[in-house]
Amino acid sequence: MELGRTTNQNMQQKAAVVSGVALLVMTIAAFFAQGYVHSSLVVEGDATTTLKNIQASQRLFRLEVLGWLIIVIMDLVVSWGFYLFLKPFHAGYALLAGGLRFLYTVMLATAVSHLVVTNTIVQHSVGGTSDRVAQQVMDAITTFEAIWSFGLIIFGLHLIAVGVVAWKTTRIPKVISYLVVLAGFSYSLIHFMYHFITQLENVTGLLELILMVPMVIGELGFGIWLLVKGRRVTMD
């Protein structure tokens, strides 16, 4: 019995380290892929300029796609790692949290496939900037953004489930639990509004700016805690 408990605890601690590392790698990749490349190449509402930007920076755009693929892989790692780490605290919520993260990851992978399509269209355009090609590129990018945004509603629910598990155990600081739940609520609320309350798009955009800090700090803070403290956690 004691040997089994020790083995489970070792697995839990390893899951904490792996998940923490994966979250940090994912954060760096996201800052590059979305924060730097995507935001600099894609001009909302301007298909022609967007096509020209990508044609002029094809290598950079392919690096963005690579960044998203890394994120997808890291998300799969986190899905499994969170389940293993949280299972000893509450098996049911751990399964829910892991399952929601996996579902989000499937949606993200589907979204990223449209960036792969975008890259193919650009490569075949051979420097041309016809309205048809530009619109094809913009349609593919818009589909990527829409699917990803909808997936972030699920992602937010995942974080809420993680926060609930964390709240139920004394091994994880309450402030971490609170930040994770707040981040999850923010993700779900904002992207629900983007999709289902479109008439308030300006309000939603402002709300997103306000909640950006807790959204980032929530999951990233949990990842850092997993690396620093989670690897030494003991089961309740």
Does the pLDDT value for residue 171 go beyond 90?
Answer: no
Q: What is the mean pLDDT of residues 161-181?
A: 92
CB of 233 closer than 8 Å to CB of 223 = no
Give residues with Cβ within 8 angstroms of 219, minimum separation 6.
23, 159, 180, 183
Boundaries of every domain in the chain: 2-230
Considering only CA atoms, which of 153, 161, 177, 154 is closest in space to residue 94?
161
The pLDDT of residue 66 = 98
69-90 pLDDT per residue, tens: 999 999 999 999 999 999 988 9
Could you identify the residue written with the tokens 């950006």?
Answer: 212
For position 131, what pLDDT does the model report? 85
Instruction: Return d(Cα 80, Cα 174) in angstroms, integer.
Output: 23
Residues 6+ apart with CB under 8 A from 179: 163, 214, 217, 218, 221, 222
Task: State pTM to two decimals.
Answer: 0.92
State the pLDDT confidence band at 234, using cuts at 50, 70 and 90: low
Q: Is the pLDDT of residue 199 over 60?
A: yes
- Averaged pLDDT for residues 16-21: 93
> Has residue 5 got a pLDDT over 70?
no
Band (pLDDT 50/70/90 cuts) for residue 3 is: very low
Distances (CA, A) of 187 to 53, 157, 191: 29, 8, 6
Name the nearest CA neighbour of 116 among 179, 161, 72.
72
Instruction: Give the contacts of 80 (CB within 8 A, at least 6 positions apart).
Output: 15, 98
| HSE, side-chain direction, 13 A CA sphere, residue 151 | 20
For residue 87, the SS3 value is coil
Give the list of residues 6+ apart from residue 171 with CB closer than 8 angstroms, or none: 89, 233, 234, 235, 236
- Kindly write down the DSSP assignment for every residue of 165-184, as one continuous string: HHHH-TTS-HHHHHHHHHHH
Residue 129 has pLDDT above 80, yes or no: no
pLDDT, tens only, 21-32: 999 999 999 999
Looking at residue 126, the DSSP 8-state letter turns out to be T
d(CA 145, CA 158): 20
Q: Place 11 in a pLDDT band, splitting at 50, 70 and 90.
A: confident
Residues 6+ apart with CB under 8 A from 7: none
* Helix axes of 201-228 and 2-30: crossing angle, nearest 10 degrees: 140
Residue with tokens 């300006």: 202
- Residue 62, pLDDT > 70, answer yes
Token couple for 32: 């590059």
Average pLDDT in the chain: 91
